[in-house]
Amino acid sequence: MLALFKLERRPETSRAMVYCSPLIAVVLTVFTAMIMFSLLGVDPVKAITVFFIEPISSVDGIAELCVKATPLILIGVGLSLGFKADVWNIGAEGQLIIGALSGGGLALAFYDQESIFLLPAMLVFGILGGMFWAAIPAFLKTRYNTNEILTSLMLTYVGLLVLSYLIHGPWKDPDGQNFPESRLFHESALLPILIDETRLNLGWFVALLVVALGWVLVSRHVIGFQIKVVGMAAMAASFAGFKEKKLVWLTLLVSGGCAGLAGVIELSGAIGQIVPSISPGYGFTAIIVAFLGRLHPVGVFFAGLLMALTYLGGDSAQISLNMPNAVTGVFQGMLLFFLLASDVLIRYRFKFSQSPPMSERQQ
């Protein structure tokens, strides 16, 4: 296979490919998905329509797209900062849950009281909760040199079990017929709905705000520059006097805070109570969102919308085509594979091996 061509390093990285690569990946994913669908005995054109067009052909559908994109964008912006600096927080799912529990716990503590301060306080608690959960790997990495990939992931499992404990124990709705669910939140603990009859809520604007803030940080602030340098050349960064430990703390706290915020927005905007499964893996999908969005806040915004569509598509395929919605995860993984594969073209180009044609050889 590789005898036909070889990779040659480009003199400089191709900026065009940085932006083309996600498009190539999407096209290849859709193409492969069509093959997969026809192997499963489903008309591929119909399946693609059900998956990608039907979910967003109504106002309700578009509102739902934004609801699903909100946590993905929030977490994606935070994670992309860390990934740039070579800090691999992959425990955003756990930080999301702890953030949701911190904000949701506050809502439960004041469940029968009306206050305009409750909602802002919940959001702040959510951010702090996520930060706290991300501070553990940050502390262990800076103090004990412990790999943050494994610690942040282990803490995700711990976070899920904390949720399970609270929801089956102290926070269970006392009037809820023993279902593992909390009380319904009071009106003043719910984020205002933007469009009636949909779930689109104020959290969407929070996500847009975070994208704007992230953009300013990355392109206009010295911290954004430091993050980039540390990721590209750690040695140069330390010569320049950038504190690597400080950036580990910063990127983990920011990404944890974003994930926590996403969690509490999901609770008070979309769900309205604490349930056993707060997130269908937003924290993990956001990793793909960050890469697909080229680790840039604006790119993350579009990538978040696209990945949100795969969730809606999975649900729609379950209803219309009777397929398990696990198909979403397959799509997402495939998309990341194709993206990583076509990213090779950013730094390399294919060079077809030039064995001279037979006619020339004989001369």
Minimal distance, residue 32 CB to another protein, in Å: 12
Minimal distance, residue 188 CB to another protein, in Å: 30
Q: Is 319 in the site for another protein (CB under 8 A)?
A: no
* Among candidate residues 279, 201, 235, 213, the one with its CA nearest the CA of residue 80: 213
Minimal distance, residue 29 CB to another protein, in Å: 11
* Among candidate residues 305, 334, 327, the one with its CA nearest the CA of residue 72: 305
Exactly one of 17, 90, 230, 278 binds another protein (CB under 8 A); which one?
Answer: 90
* 142 vs 268 by CB, closer to another protein: 142
Minimal distance, residue 40 CB to another protein, in Å: 9
CA distance 62 to 35: 27
Find the part of the chain contacting another protein (CB under 8 A) among 24-32, 218-226, 239-247, 344-352: 344-352
Q: Show the site string, 232-271: x = touches another protein by CB under 8 A, - = not.
A: ----------------------------------------
Euclidean distance between the first and the last CA atom of the chain, given in angstroms as a whole number: 29
Burial class (CB in 10 A: 0-12, 13-18, 19+), 354: exposed
Exactly one of 124, 158, 194, 234 binds another protein (CB under 8 A); which one?
Answer: 158
Q: Are 323 and 40 in contact (CB under 8 A)?
A: yes
Q: Are 93 and 235 in contact (CB under 8 A)?
A: no
Count, residues near another protein per rule CB under 8 A: 47
- The 3-class SS string of 18-72 reads HHHHHHHHHHHHHHHHHHHHHHCCCCHHHHHHHHHHHHHCCHHHHHHHHHHHHHH
Q: Is 153 in the site for another protein (CB under 8 A)?
A: yes
Q: Is 361 in the site for another protein (CB under 8 A)?
A: no
Minimal distance, residue 150 CB to another protein, in Å: 5
Q: Are 345 and 17 in contact (CB under 8 A)?
A: yes
Q: Is 7 in the site for another protein (CB under 8 A)?
A: yes
Q: What pairs with residue 9 in β-bridges?
A: 348
Exactly one of 52, 291, 301, 311 binds another protein (CB under 8 A); which one?
Answer: 291
Minimal distance, residue 157 CB to another protein, in Å: 5
Distances in Å between the Cα of 47 and the Cα atoms of 34, 39, 303, 323 are 8, 12, 22, 10
CA distance 299 to 296: 5
Q: Which residues bind another protein (CB under 8 A)?
A: 2, 7, 9, 88, 90, 140, 144-147, 149-151, 153-155, 157-158, 161-162, 164-165, 168-169, 284-285, 287-288, 291, 324, 326-334, 336-337, 340-341, 343-344, 347-348
